[in-house]
Amino acid sequence: MERELISKKDLLDQTGISYGQLYRWKRKQLIPEEWFIRKSTFTGQETFFPKDLILARIDKILNMKDDLSLDQVAGKLSPSLPDYEMRKCDLMKRNIVSNVVLQRFAGQDPDPTVYAFEMILYLYVIDSLLQAGDMSLEEGERLLAAMRDHFPNFEGKPCELIFLRKMGVSSFALVSVPSQVYFDSGVKIVARLSMTEAIERLKSKLI
């Protein structure tokens, strides 16, 4: 599964930003280093970006930069997990995670139980896929185990969750960004979720 790329020239033309803005945002870590992909072309070496990720990121930066400093924007867009905790009962009161998910995945925990941001993120991602109708509760249990086992290995670096199914059997993969992942023809990509985007959305709800 090859991700669509956009050249630097086309990116600047399409978004209307300047070369200087692009690299200033890179220095400020608003745009991850990993998204700057050097490739050989018939004219020499050129820089490309994952198209969907970079266009969404630039749109967010442009929408936020008038109200926030670049450092504040960088904090909101960072894939690093904040040092943040919330009680189970507050997650329910604020509707951060649905009652169905809390009952299934945290039902035995008493209401005063405090969850770190990382666990809240796992529940939030599961809830998002369930709400979209893409996943069953049983698959959610397997996804929770996969995220607990593997997400910490990325240590704040951008990654994606790929949810796939073949002949009714589902699997999950966490992959670095950017990446090119290929599957055989019998595999259906059910969902491809940027964990960085999920972290940003959850931060906006919590902090």
Q: What is the mean pLDDT of residues 58-77?
A: 86
**91 and 70 housed in the same domain:** no
Q: What is the 3-state secondary structure (H, E, C) of the chain?
A: CCCCEEEHHHHHHHHCCCHHHHHHHHHCCCCCHHHCEEEEECCEEEEEEEHHHHHHHHHHHHHHCCCCCHHHHHHHHCCCCCCCEEEHHHHHHCCCCCHHHHHHHHCCCCCCCEEEHHHHHHHHHHHHHHHCCCCCHHHHHHHHHHHHHHHHHHCCCCEEEEEEEECCEEEEEEEECCCCCCCCCCCEEEEEEEHHHHHHHHHHHHC
| Per-residue pLDDT tens digits for 22-51 | 999 999 888 888 889 888 888 788 999 989
Q: What is the pLDDT of residue 139?
A: 96
Pair (110, 43) in one structural domain:
no
Whether residues 42 and 97 fall in one domain: no
Structural domain of 182: 85-206
**Where is the domain boundary, 46, 77, 108?**
77
110 and 193 share one domain: yes
Judgement on whether residues 69 and 112 belong to the same structural domain of the protein = no
Q: What is the pTM of this model?
A: 0.72
pLDDT of res. 131:
93
51: domain CATH number is 1.10.1660.10
Are residue 46 and residue 90 in the same domain, yes or no?
no
